Amino acid sequence: MVEAGKEAGSARRVRYGMVGGGSGAFIGDVHRRAIGLDSLATLVAGCFSRDLANTLTTGRSLGVEDGRCYPSFEAMAAAEGSRQDGIDFVVIVTPNALHFPIARTFLEAGINVVCDKPLTLEVAEAEELAALAARKRLLFGVTYTYSGYPAVKQAREMVRRGEIGTLRFVNAEYPQEWLATPAERLGQKQAAWRGDPGQSGKSNCLGDIGSHVENLVSYVTGLEIESLCARLDTFVEGRALDDNATVMLNYRGGAKGLYWSSQIAVGCDNALRIRVFGSEGSVQWSQENPNYLVVSKLGQPTMTLSRGRDAFHPGAQAQSRLPGGHPEGYFEAFANIYRAFIGAVSARIAGEEPESTKYDYPGIETGISGVRFVERAVESSRKGAIWLNY
């Protein structure tokens, strides 16, 4: 449990625990490796699986003591919340349906939380977590990975500073091909739980990767959705949830948008892309070529800014880790988010109040926005792809 007075003033490594991420899981290992890049926090506890044997095996491979490998997240929260040397934050990397009960349990135990997205299945659940975190004065991060890229932060600064003029139109897409076949029926663990409404929630494709589109656009542009019209498709026979989604949007102030996310787009690996068009220029960024930002301005040649070579605005430049020409990507973007969150946790441990402008990580309000987007888009689609006020 993190309290202002607990070990205040001591220069120690932040301690964290993890729920999920056991043997055979993908994303938990990504989180651990990203946290490890800056060596700012140590993994000391975990409930890595509902199977205690898996949890113990995983914990031993990661150097976690058997006594801090727990049979349930409830036992972990109770024990760690009462220890003098308990964890400072927990990382939740489970299927979506478990996010809410796990996050609530750790907040009630007085422990800061980082949760994978989507934050919860329902807006009411997300808002309950926000109220609980505020009441307990705890920090809450949501790992929307792509806001951690330096070129994305540069695009955001350019838009904020009015360098491309008044925003008119945003086009963003996230196509993949990995569910073009019924992988969930062929033993693919990641596909199986994502296709199960009991674990994934009311949406698969839109909730899984379409939520990244919504977050990326919101982060870069600051635009607020006024209304939307969504169509969620299920192309693979027998699949319970969507594997393709298209959303049209109106933003406050008059700008328009079009989002597309797909898991049945043959030929696409992980092709997240955003294009923002203003009255005086545009910016374009692609996750598969993440170190470059394409900038066009009226009456000028189109230019490509290179991370590490070309000067970015200070806030974006500070997130660049390697010289130009050395690729930075997924792990580094994750690490940038964790560096900011752990910095805020460290400030709290030292008895300071972390400034939101200093620590740039997706917070719980960002998580709520993502859940609301999925909820409204699913409702629009179910009602015949009608326009709904946001």
The answer to whether 114 and 25 have CB atoms below 8 angstroms apart is no
| C-alpha–C-alpha distance, residues 346 and 21, integer Å | 24
Cα–Cα–Cα angle for 343, 157, 307, nearest 5°? 80
How far, CA to CA in Å, does 154 sit from each of 98, 299, 324?
34, 22, 15
**Ordered per-residue pLDDT tens for the chain, 390 residues:** 333 334 434 467 899 999 999 988 899 999 999 999 999 999 999 999 999 999 999 999 999 999 999 999 999 999 999 999 999 999 999 999 999 999 999 999 999 999 999 999 999 999 999 999 999 999 999 999 999 999 999 999 999 999 999 999 999 999 999 999 999 998 888 899 999 999 999 999 999 999 999 999 999 999 999 999 999 999 999 999 999 999 999 999 999 999 999 999 999 999 999 999 999 999 999 999 999 999 999 999 999 999 999 999 999 999 999 999 999 999 999 999 999 999 999 999 999 887 767 899 999 999 999 999 999 999 999 999 999 999
Beta strands in 150-236 (DSSP E): 167-175, 225-233
The answer to whether 113 and 133 have CB atoms below 8 angstroms apart is yes
Buried b / exposed e along 309-324 (16+ C-beta atoms within 10 A)? eeebeeebbebbbeee
At residue 27, what is the residue type?
A: I
55 token code pair:
């949890």
Residue 85's pLDDT is 96
| C-alpha–C-alpha distance, residues 337 and 384, integer Å | 38
| C-alpha–C-alpha distance, residues 283 and 154, integer Å | 10
- At residue 212, φ and ψ (nearest 5 deg) are -70, -35
For residue range 109-146, what is the model confidence (pLDDT) as tens digits? 999 999 999 999 999 999 999 999 999 999 999 999 99
Domains of the chain by start residue, with CATH = 14-146+334-359 (3.40.50.720), 150-322+370-389 (3.30.360.10)
Cα–Cα–Cα angle for 128, 244, 125, nearest 5°? 5
Residue 7's pLDDT is 42
Residue 4's pLDDT is 33
Strand arrangement, sheet containing 225-233: 303-306, 292-297, 281-286, 273-278, 167-175, 256-262, 244-251, 225-233, 387-389
Residue 11's pLDDT is 62
SS3 258: strand
Q: Which of 302, 358, 316, 282 is nearest to 152 (CA)?
A: 316
130 token code pair:
């926000």
DSSP string, 6-64: TTTT----EEEEEEE--TT-SHHHHHHHHHHHTT-EEEEEEE--SSHHHHHHHHHHTT-
For residue range 227-241, what is the model confidence (pLDDT) as tens digits? 999 999 999 999 999
Residue 12's pLDDT is 79
Q: The tokens 């500070």 sit on which residue? A: 318
Q: Kindly report the number of other CB atoms within 10 A of residue 266's CB atom.
A: 10
| C-alpha–C-alpha distance, residues 111 and 344, integer Å | 14
The answer to whether 86 and 112 have CB atoms below 8 angstroms apart is no
Cα–Cα–Cα angle for 228, 229, 234, nearest 5°? 130
The answer to whether 276 and 283 have CB atoms below 8 angstroms apart is yes
Computed from CA positions of residues 306, 310, 316, 321, in that sequence, does the dihedral angle turn out positive or negative? positive
- Residue 55 makes CB contacts below 8 A (sequence gap 6+) with 22, 46, 47, 48, 49, 69, 70, 71
Element (H, E) at 373: helix 364-382
Q: The tokens 């904020």 sit on which residue? A: 160
- Residue 142 makes CB contacts below 8 A (sequence gap 6+) with 114, 115, 116, 117, 119, 362, 363, 364, 366, 367, 370
